[in-house]
Amino acid sequence: MYYQLINFGNEEFHAYPDKSLYWKRLNTLIVSDLHIGKSISYAKNKQFLPPYDTKEILNKIFVSLDKIKPSNLIIVGDLLHDVFSILSLKDQDHKNLSQYMKNTDFIWIKGNHDKNIQIEGFKNFTNYKIDKLLFTHIPIETSLFQICGHYHPKVKISHRGKTIFKTCFIHNEKIFILPSFGILTGGLDIHSKQISDVLGKNNLSIYPVGLDKVYKL
Amino acid sequence: MNINKSNPLTLHPLTKWMKKKKWSWFQHQIETFQHVRSGSDVVVFAPTGAGKTLTGFINPIDDLIKSKKYKGLHTLYISPLKSLANDIVRNLEKPIKDLDLNISFQVRTGDTTPYKKQKQKQKPPNILITTPESLALLNSYENAKEFFHNLKYIIIDEIHTFLDNKRADLLSLNIERLQTFSPNLQRIGLSATLKNKQDAKKWLCRKKPKIVSYENSVLPKIKILESKERIPWSGHMATYSINEIYKEIMQSKLTIIFVNTRAQAEYMFKNLWLINKKKLKIAVHHGSLEKNLRLKVENNLSKGLVDCVVATSSLELGLDYGDVEKIIQVGAPKGINRLLQRVGRSNHNLNTPSKAILVPTNRFEFIEAKAAIEEIKKNNLDKIDLKEGSFDVVAQHIFATACAGQFEINDLYKEIIKAYPYKKLKLNDFKQLINLIQDGGYVLKNYDQFKRIFQLRENKNIYKLVNRRETRKYRMNVGTIIENPMLKIKLGTRTLGNVEEVFIQNLSQGDSFIFAGQILEFQSMKNNLVQVKRSKSLISKIPSYSGGRMPLSTNLANSVRALLAKSNMWDFYPEQITEWLKRQKNISKIPKKDEYLVEQFPRKKNFYTVIYTFAGWHANQTLGFLLLRGFKELNYKPLGFVANDYAIVLWSLKEVKEIKTILNLGLLDEHLDNYLEETSIVKRLFRDNAIISCLIERRLPGMEKTGKQVLFSSDLIYTVLKKNEPDHILLKSSYEDAKKNMIDYDRLREILKKIDKKIILKKLTSISPLAVPIILEINRENLSKKETDEYILEDLENEILKEANVLSIN
């Protein structure tokens, strides 16, 4: 798999087109905003999205774990969409998860969507510090470098008279935001107020995610 | 006019009123009255000005007077447009008030206040004038059955607009529902003249079906603008003749200029304004303008307060503008029916001919305009193809039915297949649509506890809505017209109308564009409102709107081909056209009316193949793509293609040697799926299907979800569904829609079936005169986004003309 090299907080990361981020020095894989079970949570409001998102997200993460075999998997929040989401995890899914947990340490940082939910066998944290890096769902006041999720960043690209929106990895000097790893999750323009308030407008490094490549703007 | 001594209408209450006005009954009105009185469902075909509206009401008024103080709803009148519904009320009001008849009548559309709607439900009028969408809503109320059980007549106005679209499907289902409520209900259809009258009859009538027809013997006077300027080779803006058009406006009291797109309307308006030395009152009217702006123009038009209105199809139907003296059609007529409808907007008097002038914007359009005039003389109208009913509309109807109360699936199925578009609906597909409404209808049963409708335990064939709250969601989603995400344009606090979101996304702050006849500068976008200010910029863009591109009708296409081949007519054309065709004949060939000319020539470093199919834009676009794939497979290294209504041009790096073996049905079978996939045609239609079938919610003003997000999530749903459940009913439905609407599958199939024996292949050393227009389109398409500067285009045009060695023609 092709990856894009990203330097952030004096560390080297690899950004993959499946929207995961790999920290080679510590053999750690980082993902964010999986929103497992979004479809079932919509179904309770009678919006019947295809119920295949959970299966696809888990497959995606398993494929990545098989390939990279990381020592740690850090989930930077919103693993689950809401409390109903657990319904979409079948027995087999739980079995598969515990199988992977034998070789990889799962670190589940709670997000706004899943802060009150527990899954058997999952350790969870409000945030997690490694060296000078802080993993947190939403950035907080700190002098540390932060790696977060929450915003599902998307960048608008206009070129030769055409405009497209692409999911992206994005960071400034201190804060890094991951794209959503989910299937039915939308995105937020990086120039929206919510993201500008966090990252500012200048000195941004933006990495749009293509079909099988992560680009650099 | 046609006073019959034994006129059965002599005693009709309206006869007295007509006499006072010095009017008399038409023969078709008498016939309609008799047929309906003897229990027939009737479709009446008559041109505007032949008292169509009144025709529909003859029997209802007669019956209402006879039955005295009729309680409840007696007659339903369905109009395709809200504005038309209001007009009908005004027309009905006159005789009823003058004669002091004890008949109540009201209008009910999306514009009716909730208070008034509530009143109507409690105490219905005798006659209710409404739209298909409002009817669908009425049928979704719990008391629908009581509301309609005394209904005696349903009148469908302008039924020809209801035959070939999803709105027709929705209406047909709701008419059958009414028939179930009130088995004695009679149907009356009012239509403009149509070629396949029998089809309209089949669509509407059940009881002793009858057709009544009035043929107008006064033909419209249509001519082509005589211009001193040369008609351009290509393009769609009539800039060359703007001064002559202006002269025509000056010479008439009131003119409507019809154009084919909203962008053309803005452009034409702007150009007229630039030369408006006499300060004529000119206005612009199209579907994206804010309602009150449109109403203002319509009002001024009916009062004769303007000199000219530039309009799109938005003014084709609607109010009777008695003072309109002249119609100018700018651009290709595209179809006979459409042209007649437009021409009919002038002089609403049966005995004086309508007057119209056609302004072709390029050379092929000249031939097309000429052909259209010939066909109108022969009264050879286009056929309207009835469509098979779409699945998504049935799903919406099932939801509506559930909102009205519990239902038995076999009863519902039997009722639905009585509707003409759904005669062939399979029980199995119907059941899948029930499941779609129930819980999305997925194979993976994840949503058992969240169903929208459920089966009763004691009878599994009876379904019931889980929660009354769902009715609100149905009501938000009702209807079959889905627009692209639009943004409101605000000038100060005034709303000017809507522009597609995609267009705005491509603008930067300070860019200017033309809208509502003004040059505007884009300032900012906040909360889905686009703030603009007036600008004096000379270079400005014009918003375009996707969809709604009308392809050339098969009927008119055949006529164009026949006319092109008639070389004895050429001498009557403007010199430049004559020369163009003659030179084509010498250098290459003019195809006979059943031949397909294919020209091949080298140009610059590439190799060009031009195929003259006259198949209309949709079919040509599809064929172009299929050929691109075919060329790729044979290693001709194709680089691209451009299609218009008449032809396709492909260019490749290598010479295409075997065009005859590749142009056949196999091409369609082999590459069609790829085409649908790669061009995301099905994906786009899936969004409409998902909204119409109520799988996802429609964006409504004031909702936090922007159109962008709806579009985005429907794409995601499409992708997930396609991967996991490719047989899902909504995918099937979207695929069928694509075949029917976007790619003109049947038309293309017909052509490819017979084309291989009719190909005339010409290998040329350079571009032919006939190919110049489409070759120019290649460059225009690539240029238009950045450069609209006419000088550059002209320069380019000259360069290509020199190459074709035809510059001397001018």
Per the prediction, chain B carries an average pLDDT of: 88
Confidence band, pLDDT 50/70/90 cuts, at residue B711? very low
Residue B698 region, left (φ>0) first, then alpha (ψ -120 to 50), else beta?
beta
Identify the weakest region by mean pLDDT among B155-159, B512-516, B525-529, B721-725.
B525-529
**Cβ-contact B437, B399 below 8 angstroms:** yes
Q: What percent of chain B has pLDDT over 70?
A: 92
**Cβ-contact B462, B407 below 8 angstroms:** yes
CA distances, B113 to each of B39, B120, B427 (Å): 36, 11, 40
Q: Which residue in A50, A158, A160 is closest to B442 by CB distance?
A: A50
The pLDDT, as a whole number, for residue B475 is 92
Confidence band, pLDDT 50/70/90 cuts, at residue B799? low
Identify the weakest region by mean pLDDT among B170-184, B222-236, B588-602, B795-809.
B795-809
CB contact under 8 A, B442 and A48: yes
Instruction: Tell me the pLDDT tens digit for each residue of A161-201.
Output: 666 778 999 999 999 999 999 988 888 889 888 999 999 99
CB contact under 8 A, A48 and B720: no
Q: Residue B322's closest CA among B354, B356, B297, B349?
A: B349
**Cβ-contact B630, B671 below 8 angstroms:** yes
Calpha distance B775→B780 (Å, rounded): 9
Nearest CA in chain A to B444: A51
Question: Is 90 exceeded by the pLDDT of residue B484?
Answer: no
Instruction: Tell me the pLDDT tens digit for each residue of B329-352.
Output: 999 999 998 899 899 888 767 778
Of residues B449 and B83, the one with the higher pLDDT is: B449
Of residues B544 and B371, the one with the higher pLDDT is: B371
Element (H, E) at B213: strand B210-213
First to last CA, chain A: 20
Confidence band, pLDDT 50/70/90 cuts, at residue B307? very high
Chain A: nearest CA to B540, how far in angstroms? 15
Instruction: Classify strands B355-359 and B407-408 as parallel, antiparallel or unpaired.
Output: unpaired
Q: Which residue in A39, A47, A161 is closest to B506 by CB distance?
A: A161
Q: What percent of chain B has pLDDT over 90?
A: 56
Calpha distance B130→A27 (Å, rounded): 68
Of residues B313 and B183, the one with the higher pLDDT is: B183
Q: Does B221-377 carry CATH code 3.40.50.1700? A: no
User: How many Cβ atoms from other residues are within 10 Å of residue B172's Cβ?
Assistant: 24
Instruction: Tell me the pLDDT tens digit for each residue of B501-528.
Output: 878 877 778 888 889 888 899 998 877 7
The pLDDT, as a whole number, for residue B485 is 75
The pLDDT, as a whole number, for residue B118 is 93
In one-letter notation, the amino acid at residue B25 is: W
Calpha distance B163→B204 (Å, rounded): 10
Chain B: nearest CA to A150, how far in angstroms? 17
Chain A: nearest CA to B114, how far in angstroms? 26
Instruction: Classify strands B75-78 and B153-156 as parallel, antiparallel or unpaired.
Output: parallel
The pLDDT, as a whole number, for residue B316 is 83
What is chain A's pLDDT, residue by residue, as a tens digit (217 residues)? 689 999 999 999 999 999 999 999 999 999 999 999 999 988 988 889 999 999 999 999 999 999 999 999 999 999 999 988 888 888 999 999 999 999 999 999 999 999 888 888 888 999 999 999 999 999 999 999 999 999 999 988 776 566 677 899 999 999 999 999 998 888 888 988 899 999 999 899 999 998 788 888 8
Domain ranges across chain B: 13-213, 221-377, 391-480+680-742, 486-534, 554-679+743-809
Q: Which residue in B506, B696, B721 is closest to A47 by CB distance?
A: B696
**DSSP codes of every residue in B109-140:** STTS-HHHHHHHHHS--SEEEE-HHHHHHHHT
The pLDDT, as a whole number, for residue B344 is 85
Which one of B686, B716, B728 makes the best mutation probe of the A interface by having the most chain A beta carbons within 10 Å?
A: B716
**B24-40 mean pLDDT:** 95
Element (H, E) at B88: helix B82-98
**DSSP codes of every residue in B454-480:** EE-SS-TTEEEES-TTHHHHHHHH-SS
The pLDDT, as a whole number, for residue B707 is 44
Instruction: Tell me the pLDDT tens digit for each residue of B72-92.
Output: 899 999 999 887 888 888 889
> What's the burial of B589, exposed, middle or buried (CB within 10 Å: 0-12/13-18/19+)?
middle
Identify the weakest region by mean pLDDT among B268-272, B274-278, B597-601, B752-756.
B752-756
Chain B: nearest CA to A49, how far in angstroms? 7
Please report residues of A whose CB lies closer than 8 A to that of B785.
160-161
Instruction: Tell me the pLDDT tens digit for each residue of B636-693.
Output: 988 888 999 999 999 999 999 988 889 988 888 888 888 887 777 888 889 999 999 9
CA distances, B252 to each of B39, B115, B186, B359 (Å): 47, 45, 44, 16
Architecture of domain A4-208: 4-Layer Sandwich (3.60)
Question: Is 90 exceeded by the pLDDT of residue B564?
Answer: yes
Instruction: Tell me the pLDDT tens digit for each residue of B567-602.
Output: 999 989 998 899 999 999 999 999 999 999 999 999
CA distances, B171 to each of B111, B176, B419, B420, B687 (Å): 19, 9, 9, 11, 22
Q: How many CB pairs under 8 A join A and B?
A: 78
CB contact under 8 A, A50 and B724: yes
Residue B367 region, left (φ>0) first, then alpha (ψ -120 to 50), else beta?
alpha
Determine the Cα angle at A119 with ends A115 and A123, to 5°: 75
Most confident segment among B131-135, B667-671, B749-753, B776-780: B131-135
ipTM field? 0.86
Confidence band, pLDDT 50/70/90 cuts, at residue B11? confident
Residue with tokens 């598969």: A96
Question: Is 90 exceeded by the pLDDT of residue B157?
Answer: yes
pTM across the whole model? 0.88
CB contact under 8 A, A187 and B713: no
Question: Is 90 exceeded by the pLDDT of residue B147?
Answer: yes
B→A interface, C-beta within 8 Å: 439-442, 444, 446-447, 450, 452, 470, 473, 502, 505-506, 695-697, 709, 712-713, 716-717, 720-721, 723-725, 728, 785-786
Nearest CA in chain B to A88: B446
Q: Does B13-213 carry CATH code 3.40.50.300? A: yes
Calpha distance B214→B350 (Å, rounded): 11
Which residues are CB-contacts of B714 (< 8 A; sequence separation ≥ 6)?
Answer: B686, B687, B690, B691, B696
Instruction: Tell me the pLDDT tens digit for each residue of B92-123.
Output: 998 999 999 999 999 998 888 999 999 999 99
Identify the weakest region by mean pLDDT among B152-156, B199-203, B322-326, B386-390.
B322-326
Instruction: Tell me the pLDDT tens digit for each residue of A24-46.
Output: 999 999 999 999 999 998 898 88
In one-letter notation, the amino acid at residue B251 is: Q
- Structural tokens at position B777: 């389109």
Question: Is 50 exceeded by the pLDDT of residue B792?
Answer: no
CB contact under 8 A, A52 and B720: yes
Question: Is 70 exceeded by the pLDDT of residue B619?
Answer: yes
In one-letter notation, the amino acid at residue B351 is: N
